[in-house]
């Protein structure tokens, strides 16, 4: 553990933190991503943000503890940090403190990709946040997705969970923050160089909740949260502190929220059902009432594709409503 002993150094960092609220994205930072979309855009962004400056997790000069004290500093009390899932302001010096302090949450669960706390994804502060120790444990390695059971820790926290589907829904104030951190990780880590994992955000629930496969769910819910909880000044300031003071790379989805839609936004299937020979599936509409039409997926023989265990089903109706269901075992 490391503590800042110089009053002058602490004041300087505090003033720097405040001033960054008014900074801007460096000119030309995203030039190589202009006009791109889909995988081409994701690849271009990866090239821009890769090879960041890495720090250790717990020891040796400046480490993750030290960085989070700056990135997540309480603007109303510079001695405190703000906890991700509760919003509580706690003494920054109480690093773990025998279980009564705070610890570090890997928003992209470190088990999903099996990168642990190694330099790189394990210490990348773009997805590391201060957290209440018990709440961090309650979240565990759950996937992110809409859930309905209220979470409590000395009272309601604003988070929700679903133990059956292994889902965690953060409080409304940080739903978008979480989504953009997941999008960052899936873009920054593409399996290139230094044995880095190839992380992918997916729109299905893996059958093995403890899988070490480098995937994280649920994309459709994360996109929903990204739009429901837009970027705020807290995120912008945090992004600037990480870039200018520590890692020298940025989260593109904070700077340019539209990048998420260009990469993962809904696509329209245009295959003609009358000529399915170039595709294994096609769309068929079925009217179920005077106002609703459900879209089904059919295979090339005309048989309806049957849901598989843990498959995410999205029903889209002609009246503009949609419904999500999970096909269980």
Q: What is the pLDDT of residue 60?
A: 73
For residues 49 and 57, the answer to whether their CB atoms sit within 8 Å is no
Q: What is the pLDDT of residue 22?
A: 45
243-247, 280-284, 320-324: least confidently modelled range? 280-284
pTM of this prediction exceeds 0.85? no
pLDDT (mean) for 289-313: 50
Give the confidence band of 189 by pLDDT, cuts at 50, 70, 90. very high
Give the confidence band of 221 by pLDDT, cuts at 50, 70, 90. very high
Give the confidence band of 325 by pLDDT, cuts at 50, 70, 90. low
* Spatial distance between the Cα atoms of 70 and 61, rounded to a whole number of angstroms: 15
Q: What is the pLDDT of residue 292?
A: 45
Domain ranges of the chain: 7-264, 276-327
For residues 122 and 110, the answer to whether their CB atoms sit within 8 Å is yes
Residue 23, pLDDT above cutoff 70: no
Handedness of CA 67, 75, 127, 41 (dihedral sign): negative
Strands, E assignment, the chain: 73-74, 77-82, 89-91, 102-106, 128-132, 143-144, 149-152, 156-162, 167-169, 200-202, 215-217, 281-287, 293-299, 311-316, 322-327
- Of residues 308 and 198, more confidently modeled: 198
Share of residues in the chain with pLDDT > 90 (%): 69
- Following CA atoms 113, 119, 124, 130 in sequence, which dihedral angle do they give, to the nearest 10 degrees? 90
- β-pair partners for 294: 286
What confidence tens digit (pLDDT) does each residue in 48-101 have?
999 999 999 998 789 999 999 999 999 999 999 999 999 999 999 999 988 889
Q: What is the pLDDT of residue 309?
A: 53
Give the confidence band of 24 by pLDDT, cuts at 50, 70, 90. confident
The tokens of 64 are what?
């993750």
Q: What is the pLDDT of residue 180?
A: 98
Q: What is the pLDDT of residue 14?
A: 41
- Average pLDDT across the chain, whole number: 83
- Of residues 299 and 98, more confidently modeled: 98
The tokens of 207 are what?
């059958």
pLDDT (mean) for 261-274: 57
pLDDT (mean) for 145-167: 97
Q: What is the pLDDT of residue 98?
A: 86
Q: What is the pLDDT of residue 329?
A: 44
Q: Which of 12-26, 86-100, 119-133, 253-267 has the highest mean pLDDT?
A: 119-133
In this structure, what are the phi and psi dihedrals at residue 223, rounded to the nearest 5 degrees? -65, -40
- Of residues 253 and 300, more confidently modeled: 253
pLDDT (mean) for 123-141: 98
- Collapsing DSSP states into helix, strand and coil, what is residue 5? coil
What confidence tens digit (pLDDT) does each residue in 30-54 have?
999 999 999 999 999 999 999 999 9
* Spatial distance between the Cα atoms of 69 and 50, rounded to a whole number of angstroms: 24
pLDDT (mean) for 304-309: 55
DSSP code, position 242: I
């Amino acid at each position: 553990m490391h503590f800042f002993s110089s009053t002058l150094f602490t004041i300087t960092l505090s003033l720097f933190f405040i001033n960054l609220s008014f900074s801007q994205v460096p000119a030309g930072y995203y030039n190589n991503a202009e006009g791109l979309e889909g995988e081409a855009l994701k690849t271009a962004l990866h090239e821009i943000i890769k090879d960041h400056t890495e720090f250790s997790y717990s020891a040796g000069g400046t480490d993750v503890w030290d960085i989070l004290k700056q990135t997540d500093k309480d603007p109303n009390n510079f001695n405190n940090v703000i906890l991700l899932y509760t919003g509580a302001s706690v003494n920054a010096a109480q690093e773990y403190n025998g279980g009564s302090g705070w610890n570090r949450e890997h928003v992209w669960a470190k088990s999903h990709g099996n990168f642990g706390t190694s330099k790189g994804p394990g210490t990348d502060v773009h997805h590391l946040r201060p957290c209440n120790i018990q709440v961090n444990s309650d979240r565990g390695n759950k996937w992110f997705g809409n859930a309905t059971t209220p979470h409590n820790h000395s009272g309601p926290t604003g988070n929700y969970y679903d133990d059956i589907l292994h889902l965690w829904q953060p409080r409304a104030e940080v739903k978008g923050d979480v989504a953009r951190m997941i999008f960052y990780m899936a873009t920054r880590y593409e399996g290139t160089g230094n044995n880095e994992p190839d992380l992918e955000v997916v729109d299905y629930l893996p059958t093995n909740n403890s899988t070490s496969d480098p995937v994280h769910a649920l994309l459709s819910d994360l996109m929903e949260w990204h739009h429901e909880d837009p970027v705020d000044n807290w995120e912008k300031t945090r992004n600037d502190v990480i870039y200018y003071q520590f890692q020298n790379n940025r989260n593109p989805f904070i700077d340019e929220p539209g990048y998420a839609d260009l990469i993962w936004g809904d696509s329209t299937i245009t295959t003609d059902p009358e000529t399915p020979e170039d595709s294994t599936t096609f769309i068929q509409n079925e009217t179920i009432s005077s106002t609703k039409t459900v879209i089904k997926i059919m295979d090339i023989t005309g048989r309806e594709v049957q849901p598989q265990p843990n498959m995410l089903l999205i029903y889209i109706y002609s009246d503009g409503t949609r419904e999500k269901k999970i096909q269980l075992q």
